[in-house]
Structures are given as structure tokens and as C-alpha cells.
Amino acid sequence: MSLRNHGLLAAAGAVLVLALTTACGAGEPATGTPAAGSSRQAGLVVRDPWVKTAKSGMSAAYGTVQNTTGKDVVVVSATSAVSPAIELHETTTVDGKMAMRPKAGGFVIPAGGTHEFKPGGDHLMLMDVTTEVKAGDQVTFTLTLQDGGTVQFTALGKDFAGGNETYQPGMG
């Protein structure tokens, strides 16, 4: 390898290291599009978000929301371009069977704590998917907080056969 090519290779390596350090240095971005499946805004970090694939009908989004502030934060609603209606859902037992229902008042993310959205538990329910969600798709969501703030994150489309809870509209 010539000295010139070695110098170019070293310079390219330095740029790559700088880019990785800048992208990963703080762990999470302060605002904007999430990196590596996470987002940090309004003191919340959304980790490992994903959405169940669907051609139409209902689907659900999951992930873990971490509150990095010293006060409780309440998530009161969610939106996404793939569905005109998203409900915050909890899963409960009705007549001995798992059932999902809208979560009145939203979800409290405790100060310094986390709240997990998972299959068979709390989740964001996409009520009428109008844009197909395929495996590998990047789907943007916006959470609205009780104080009027918002948190945007991008969830990865994943095939998932579980989550066969019964929907109980009007419960709550």
C-alpha cells in the first residue's frame, strides 16, 4: 500500500470514528429521529419499539418507555400515519379470559422508572390500519403527554403470531 493510500485510509477511519462517537456519544439523541430503536424527548426514552405487521384491521405497538426525569410523566394518547385511531390499552382478565380495554387516564411512567408495553400486557392498539405494516418497515409514532408535550419514536415492523386477547370496547 502506498503512503498516500495509507493516509487516505487513516483519514477515512478517523472520520468513521468521529461519526460513531458523535452518533453514540450521549447514548440517545435529545430530539428527532431515534437511533438504534430508541428516542429521547421530554425526558422519556422509548427503547426497542416494534409494531406487529398487519395488512389492515388491528395491530399493536410495543416497547419500553423510560422516564429520565424526577417527576411522573403521563402518556395520554398516541398517533401514527398508518392508523387513524390508536388507543392506549391495558390487558385484564374478564370472565377468566384475557381481554384488552382502553386505559382510562393514560399510562403513568414513574419518575426515574419504566413502563413496558408488551404482548399480553399494556400496548398501543392500532384500531384501523390503513397502510400495511410489513416486516422491516419503520413506523413513526407520536406519544402525547398530559402536559401537552410529545415524544416521537420509530418502531420496527415485526411478524408476531401472539397477542390473541379479546377486545372489550367501552370497558374502563
Total-model pTM = 0.72
Tens digit of each residue's pLDDT (9 = 90 or more) over 104-118:
999 999 999 999 999
Residue 28: count of CB within 10 angstroms of its CB: 17
Per the CB < 8 A criterion, the answer to whether 168 and 125 are in contact is: no
d(CA 69, CA 83): 30
100 vs 51, higher pLDDT: 51
Among residues 71, 17, 62, 18, which one has the least CA distance to residue 44?
71
Tens digit of each residue's pLDDT (9 = 90 or more) over 12-36:
333 333 332 223 333 333 333 333 3
Residue 93: its pLDDT value, please?
87
Mean per-residue pLDDT, 54-76? 96
Strands 57-67 and 97-102: unpaired
Does residue 134 surpass a pLDDT of 70?
yes
